[in-house]
Amino acid sequence: MTMNKIDILLGLQWGDEGKGKVVDALTKNYDIVARFQGGPNAGHTIEFDGKRFVLHNIPSGVLTPGCINVIGNGVIIEPHILKGEIEGLLSNGFDLHDTLKISNRAHLILPTHRALDAANEQSLGKMKIGSTLKGIGPTYTDKTARKGLRIGDIATPDFHDKYDVLKKSHLQQIASLGFDMNGFQLENIDFAEYEKRWFEGIEYLRQFSFIDSEYFLNEALDNGKKILAEGAQGSMLDIDFGSYPFVTSSNVIAAGVCSGLGIAPSRIGNVYGIFKAYCTRVGTGPFPTELFDEVGETLRQNGHEFGATTGRPRRCGWLDLPALKYAVMLNGVTRLMMMKSDVMDDFETLKVAVAYDYKGEKVKRLPFEACTETMVPVYQEIKGWHQKINGSIPQQLEDYIRFIENYIGVPIKLVSYGPDRTQNIYR
Ligand code: GDP
Ligand code: IMO
Ligand code: MG
């Protein structure tokens, strides 16, 4: 008998590839969708019937009736944000009481983790990472330092004492960075008020089922259930393989599914890697194909490239094939999905980076010292399709797709041409 396996969908660039849209579109084929890493730094957009939802801590299967959604042990949770999301969905007719399950082992983002994130960024000055300031770095730091609080701790009698101990140590760190907590606000409210709401979030979450998600998921697989793991961020933001230190603090690549859900490598099935037909990045850090001219501005305007979590304008540039190939290697991608092709409908020609001119040499690998100044893209010019995509693939777009497939060596199975759930062409 063949073993039932978990499929993965993850981003191959710097995040915001359109993961929410595709997870939602694929959910009809799955019983369970599970997030395995990251936290509310993610912003996954789903659109259908003229409605638009942005999910941060919750898996993108929640808009499909009957689908079970699991927040895995590798995810970090901000209770106040999660409560707001659950309530927002409820007011739109999506009741998650029976379908949302949260791992006991998922770590909690404390209000002081968020304050510490702000203090860290301030102390970095020009070298700041451009964090979403959701407390991601400090929370994962405490996890590895073995000091963190987990969802399962909420049910223990000394939860408040544990909270106070951790908070105290954060306040000391914040003071030592010279950061002033006086007047500090989170989401436009005073810190003390925010902390109060955070505890309301904790109380609210008690109605949901806290589970040992590693057992839940492995048993579901044993029972023939179909599971999709949903990545957050993108491979170029991976803590090990991204452009360190301008990265997030988790393993966002396929390997993160094993540790973030408790799934053995032999149980990984298809890996769907998704990328935009061009590139975007929010926050600081190297971006060799970034465009500062009107072409970059056209991509930003046509693609509405403004952050789903922070509203920041996204940096835009041409597709970077060496970087994409690197991500495909790291993840063992079996099928590619190309998003936002429609954004380049008006282009007469487009460019795609096929190598870098790196310190006088033409290279196709990502150097250890990833740096925009030293990695000068070598471009190939491609003829644009110069027409509106609507349900079928124009010849020049097909040529672009074939060019990418030849370079990467993995087939592109889905071409997305609009934000709506239905705007997909399957190849
Ligand atoms: P995620 O973080 O990977 O889920 O992506 P985001 O939601 O942050 O950003 C993707 C944005 O592009 C969202 O606003 C989507 O609605 C939108 N989008 C997704 N696919 C397409 C597409 O094929 N064409 C266009 N024009 N927009 C898309
Ligand atoms: P989704 O899941 C795009 C970026 C931030 C910053 C860096 C570190 O929507 O694709 P962090 O808050 O993790 O400390 O930020 O990573 N970043 C994202 N960029 N999409 C995301 O998520 C991101 N999550 C984090 O902008 O540069
Ligand atoms: Mg996003």
Q: For this structure, is 16 an active site residue?
A: yes
Q: Which of 264, 259, 269 is nearest to 103 (CA)?
A: 259
From the CB of 47, is ligand 1 less than 6 Å away? yes
CA max distance for the chain: 65
Is 7 part of the annotated catalytic residue set? no
Which residues are CB-neighbours of 107 under 8 A, at least 6 positions away?
76, 77, 139, 140, 142, 143, 148, 149, 150, 151
Burial class (CB in 10 A: 0-12, 13-18, 19+), 159: middle
- Whole-angstrom Cα distance, residue 268 to residue 324? 21
Residue 199 CA to ligand 2 center (angstroms) comes to 25
* Residue 1 confidence (pLDDT): 65
Report, in angstroms and rounded to the nearest whole number, the Rg of the chain calculated over CA atoms: 21
State the angle between helix axes of 191-205 and 111-124 in degrees (0 to 180), rounded to the nearest 10.
130
Number of neighbouring beta carbons within 10 Å of residue 145: 10
Residue 296 Cα, ligand 2 centroid: separation in angstroms? Answer: 20
Neighbours of 224 (CB within 10 A): 8
**Which residue, by CA, sits nearest to atom 25 of ligand 1?**
418
What's the distance, CA 224 to chain centroid? 27
Which pTM was predicted?
0.97
Strand partners, 52: 47
Beta bridge partners of residue 34, listed in sequence order: 70, 229
* Count of all residues that appear for the chain in the document: 427
Q: Cα separations (Å) of 177 from 131, 290, 367?
A: 17, 33, 33
Alpha carbon of 313 to ligand 1 centroid (Å): 14
Helices (H) and strands (E) in the chain, counts: 11, 22
Q: What is the pLDDT of residue 17?
A: 98
10-residue mean pLDDT profile of the chain (427 residues): values are 92 98 97 98 97 97 97 98 98 97 98 98 93 97 98 97 98 96 94 98 96 98 98 98 96 98 98 98 95 97 90 95 98 98 96 96 91 91 95 95 98 98 96
What are the percentages of helix, strand and coil residues in the chain, rounded to 5?
Answer: 35, 25, 40
User: Is the shortest distance between the CB of 135 and ligand 2 below 6 Å?
Assistant: no
- Compute the distance between CA of residue 136 and CA of residue 264 in angstroms, rounded to an integer: 26
Catalytic residue among 24, 44, 56, 113: 44
